[in-house]
Amino acid sequence: MNPMETLQLVLYVTDDTPRSAEAIANLKQVQRLYRGQCEVTVIDILEHPELAEREKIFATPTLVKVHPPPLRRIVGDLSDQTQLLKSLDMGSGYLSSSTNQPV
């Protein structure tokens, strides 16, 4: 993908669980890697259940990559960064500070 394009992510959580906090923290790290090229919206579905229904959220946390296409949905607390980046179509080469982990 074009490195200059801004990554738009939406994270659906239920506010009251440790997993939600974990997922938010893990996303913050990704944001740092992308140096501001990554927008994250966090939605608490306890407050907005109609959005959970609209997006057909089953598990929480669920991360949805809205832009750029293709649309991706990732379920879990995002604790494995390599896996996460792969799932977002971000190769390790894209990162400035390579994690040097085998993919």
# residues contacting another protein (CB under 8 A): 34
End-to-end CA distance of the chain: 18
User: Residue 61 in contact with residue 11, Cβ under 8 Å?
Assistant: yes
Among 17, 29, 41, 99, binds another protein (CB under 8 A): 17
Q: Which residues within the stretch 67-96 sit at the binding site for another protein (CB under 8 A)?
A: 71-80, 83-84, 87
User: Residue 55 in contact with residue 64, Cβ under 8 Å?
Assistant: yes
Place of tokens 């994270």: 11
Q: Which residues bind another protein (CB under 8 A)?
A: 12-14, 17, 19, 22-23, 26, 45-46, 49-50, 52-53, 56-62, 71-80, 83-84, 87
